[in-house]
Chains A and B, each alone.
Chain A
Amino acid sequence: MKIHEYQAREIFRDHGLPVPRERVAATPEEAEAAARELGGTVVIKAQVHVGGRGKAGGVKVTKSPAEARAAAEKILGMKIKGLEVRKVLVAPAVDIDHESYVGIIIDRASRRPVLMVSAAGGVDIEEVARETPEKIHKVRIDPRYGLLTHQAMGLGFALYHDLDRARAAAGIFRGLYAAFEAVDASLAEVNPLVVTREGELLAIDAKVNLDDNALYRHPRFESLRDPSSEEPGETEAREKGLSYVKLDGTVGCIVNGAGLAMATMDLIKYYGAEPANFLDIGGSSNPEKVVNAMRIILSDPNVKAILFNIFGGITRCDDVANGIVTALKQLEVGVPLVIRLTGTNEKEALDILASVGLPATNSMDDVVQKAIELAQGGTQ
């Protein structure tokens, strides 16, 4: 789960990181008041769950409350990579002498958290990793011991020659790891960590992604979720325990299993059309899930046909068939359905579908081609 910068700053501050006080504003008036309260030059930053805010014009430095208001007026309501900005962060501007990157990720290959720093901060770290990997310094953290002092100091010295500054940086790294661990993050980033003209170290940006699997341990983080950053169908899917990602095509798909769902989308593309979504109904297949899945997909006006691709293992094909029949009774289904079922209780499923006049196939290629034909026929 992604959270906003202002929420991540709060988490960092709780773990002792030097994060300048900020205000959050949802209107230009609030931004103006915040700028007046903070005094001096302030930065107005769009709060959206995507990177590249600066390039998109979502970050502005302003010298007066009136300028802050004008900047907030521009940024609020702006769309960055498709997401509407509903809040801005107002923070005191900082005189920067030097910028670094600091981040912790889960490294899949070593199966450990890895702390990375780079003196090339404030820019896209991926670009640094690609073009000048020697500028990135890393340590692997054994989660049983945490970030060890010499590891933190070593990275501190990789950024700064001065002992006091390296020591201060090491303290920040330890705080960042403590935060990472405490909230079950999958990513925690300070980009940039700056040295001010006065020689002070400050974390002036904050990014945290939370591990969805660990949210059960942190019920209070549910309130950090921003539904406006999701498609409406995605919110409903999450609440109903379905895995759904909306895409831009016309062929809706309902599949059991994430790998098969992705392969189904790919096959739609292979045969020359675009999938409307990713949707995994999961392993246990109660008919209610199928009804919910169909409701969510039907709420997307781009969908011209829906295909089912079910490979019964734990999922019972007859449960899915019953779900389809129930959905046809409960929902107004204005687009054609094409169905592929095979595996556990396939025969029972075919009988159930036949009783309402729905044909089914057992080939994935057939069902995809048929769905595309119907989706394209529907738009001509």
Chain B
Amino acid sequence: MSVLIDGSTKLLVQGITGRDGSFHARQMMEYGTRVVGGVVPGKGGQSFDDRVPIFDTVAQAVAETGADTSVIYVPPVFAADAIYEAADAGVGLIVAITEGIPVLDMTRVMPFVREHGARLIGPNCPGLISPGQSKVGILPGQICEPGPVGVVSRSGTLTYEVIHHLTGAGIGQSTCIGIGGDPIIGTSFIDCLDLFENDTATLAVVMIGEIGGTDEQEAAEFVQREMATPVVGFIAGQTAPPGRRMGHAGAIISGSEGTAAEKMEAFREHGIAVARRPADIVGLVEEALG
């Protein structure tokens, strides 16, 4: 079992002929993801690698293929439009990998996505993977193994690091979700924790946060209030100076708000075991699994 995606997920790739889109479309197909179509305006009627039909619009692609999920690899200038188009075409799960979408665009995209009943993951995220079933995005499939641990993270490579430790210790994952490093993202920690709590195959959750905002603090309260599944936490950026953007647009301590210390404290207060190093996560997960 898993959350959000599984072996039945039918995926569209928006921007399938681009540099990143084509590379990762192949990686996803190799992993076993059912890539049912690509969307590139002006290339409708062609096919990608002689296997995947390309459409001019998402609406056409959905009508022809019955796709339920779309992943977006288009450049930032076109990415907000690509999200609108996917939501308007009735795609239920939209995964935006693109980094660099203006934040005001996202404030307009979000209400539109919700009104269309869609869920957005990202932007500026590595996507998600349900090991052994499907992957949508750019996470390296070979480091994952199927198993009982849900992983949710604002980061990309740090998530790989944690998954690598888990797999190395023989602990597999139900689904790993990268929610993205931007200030405004479609799916929050709480949304993912809620999904994991209701997934019978997820027996423990690893939550990887970072400096900036208060999503982790709110998630900590949710864990205590709503969850029976144990949660292990890690926060990156304990040494980050205030007021400086640490790579991710959302990774910035504003004034005194959003520090790692404050988030780790919120985790501890609400019964989340906090790892001080990525390597310590394994031991805490083993304890949680009992």
Closest residue on chain B to residue A125 by CB atoms: B255
User: Nearest 5 CB-CB pairs, A to B?
Assistant: A259-B155, A258-B247, A257-B157, A259-B158, A214-B102
- Report the Cα distance A365→B138, complex, angstroms: 25
Closest residue on chain A to residue B244 by CB atoms: A245
CB-defined contacts of A109 to chain B, threshold 8 Å: 213-215, 218
Q: Can you name 18 A-B pairs with beta carbons within 8 Å?
A: A106-B183, A108-B183, A112-B107, A126-B255, A184-B103, A186-B103, A214-B102, A245-B241, A257-B247, A258-B248, A259-B157, A262-B251, A265-B237, A265-B240, A269-B239, A311-B157, A343-B160, A364-B278
Across the interface, A364 reaches (CB within 8 A) one of B234, B251, B279, namely B279
Question: Within A273-307, which residues are at the interface with B (CB < 8 Å)?
Answer: 274-275, 278, 280, 283
Query: Is the pair A259, B159 in contact by a Cβ cutoff of 8 Å?
Result: yes
Quick one: which of A142, A257, A269 has the most chain B CB within 10 A?
A: A257
Query: Is the pair B102, A258 in contact by a Cβ cutoff of 8 Å?
Result: no
Query: Is the pair B143, A144 in contact by a Cβ cutoff of 8 Å?
Result: no
CB-defined contacts of B101 to chain A, threshold 8 Å: 213
B58 contacts chain A at the CB level, 8 A cutoff:
no
Query: Is the pair B159, A211 in contact by a Cβ cutoff of 8 Å?
Result: no
Question: Within A126-168, which residues are at the interface with B (CB < 8 Å)?
Answer: 126, 142-144
- Report the Cα distance A126→B103, complex, angstroms: 22
Total interface residues in chain B, CB < 8 Å = 64
Query: Is the pair A213, B246 in contact by a Cβ cutoff of 8 Å?
Result: no
Quick one: which of A111, A181, A312, A364 has the most chain B CB within 10 A?
A: A111
Query: Is the pair A108, B102 in contact by a Cβ cutoff of 8 Å?
Result: no
CB-defined contacts of B278 to chain A, threshold 8 Å: 263, 267, 364
CB-defined contacts of B250 to chain A, threshold 8 Å: 108
What's the minimum C-beta distance from B127 to chain A, rounded to whole angstroms?
11
Query: Is the pair B239, A265 in contact by a Cβ cutoff of 8 Å?
Result: yes
What's the minimum C-beta distance from B113 to chain A, rounded to whole angstroms?
10
Query: Is the pair B104, A184 in contact by a Cβ cutoff of 8 Å?
Result: yes
Question: Within B211-245, which residues are at the interface with A (CB < 8 Å)?
Answer: 211, 213-215, 218, 234, 236-241, 243-245
What's the minimum C-beta distance from A163 to chain B, rounded to whole angstroms?
31
Query: Is the pair B246, A245 in contact by a Cβ cutoff of 8 Å?
Result: yes
Closest residue on chain A to residue B248 by CB atoms: A258
CB-defined contacts of B237 to chain A, threshold 8 Å: 262, 265-266
CB-defined contacts of B154 to chain A, threshold 8 Å: 259
What's the minimum C-beta distance from A284 to chain B, rounded to whole angstroms?
8
Across the interface, A247 reaches (CB within 8 A) one of B105, B164, B239, namely B239
CB-defined contacts of A268 to chain B, threshold 8 Å: 239
Quick one: which of A258, A265, A314 has the most chain B CB within 10 A?
A: A258
Say which size band chain A's interface belongs to: 35 or more
Across the interface, B246 reaches (CB within 8 A) one of A217, A262, A274, namely A262
What's the minimum C-beta distance from B49 to chain A, rounded to whole angstroms?
19
A40 contacts chain B at the CB level, 8 A cutoff:
no
A47 contacts chain B at the CB level, 8 A cutoff:
no
B249 contacts chain A at the CB level, 8 A cutoff:
yes
Query: Is the pair A311, B107 in contact by a Cβ cutoff of 8 Å?
Result: no
What's the minimum C-beta distance from A3 to chain B, rounded to whole angstroms?
15
CB-defined contacts of A262 to chain B, threshold 8 Å: 158, 210-211, 236-237, 239-240, 246-247, 251
Question: Within A164-216, which residues are at the interface with B (CB < 8 Å)?
Answer: 181, 184, 186, 211-214, 216
Across the interface, A275 reaches (CB within 8 A) one of B23, B110, B139, B239, namely B239
Question: Within B64-108, which residues are at the interface with A (CB < 8 Å)?
Answer: 76-77, 100-108
A235 contacts chain B at the CB level, 8 A cutoff:
no
Interface string of A307-350 (1 = CB under 8 A from B): 00001111100000000000000000000000000111000000
Query: Is the pair A213, B103 in contact by a Cβ cutoff of 8 Å?
Result: yes
CB-defined contacts of B126 to chain A, threshold 8 Å: 313
Closest residue on chain B to residue A315 by CB atoms: B157
Across the interface, B251 reaches (CB within 8 A) one of A106, A214, A258, A313, namely A258
Across the interface, A256 reaches (CB within 8 A) one of B23, B105, B157, B210, namely B157
Across the interface, B104 reaches (CB within 8 A) one of A143, A263, A364, A365, namely A143
- Report the Cα distance A106→B184, complex, angstroms: 9
A261 contacts chain B at the CB level, 8 A cutoff:
yes
A243 contacts chain B at the CB level, 8 A cutoff:
yes
Interface string of B99-127 (1 = CB under 8 A from A): 01111111110110000000000000010
Closest residue on chain A to residue B181 by CB atoms: A258
Given contacts A111-B107, A313-B139, A343-B160, could you give 12 more A-B pairs where the C-beta distance is less than 8 Å? A108-B213, A109-B218, A111-B184, A184-B102, A213-B102, A247-B241, A258-B156, A259-B208, A260-B158, A262-B210, A263-B161, A269-B238
Quick one: which of A217, A256, A262, A268 has the most chain B CB within 10 A?
A: A262
CB-defined contacts of A260 to chain B, threshold 8 Å: 155-158, 160-161, 236
Query: Is the pair B239, A266 in contact by a Cβ cutoff of 8 Å?
Result: yes
- Report the Cα distance A142→B114, complex, angstroms: 14
Closest residue on chain A to residue B139 by CB atoms: A313
Closest residue on chain A to residue B126 by CB atoms: A313
Query: Is the pair A312, B140 in contact by a Cβ cutoff of 8 Å?
Result: yes
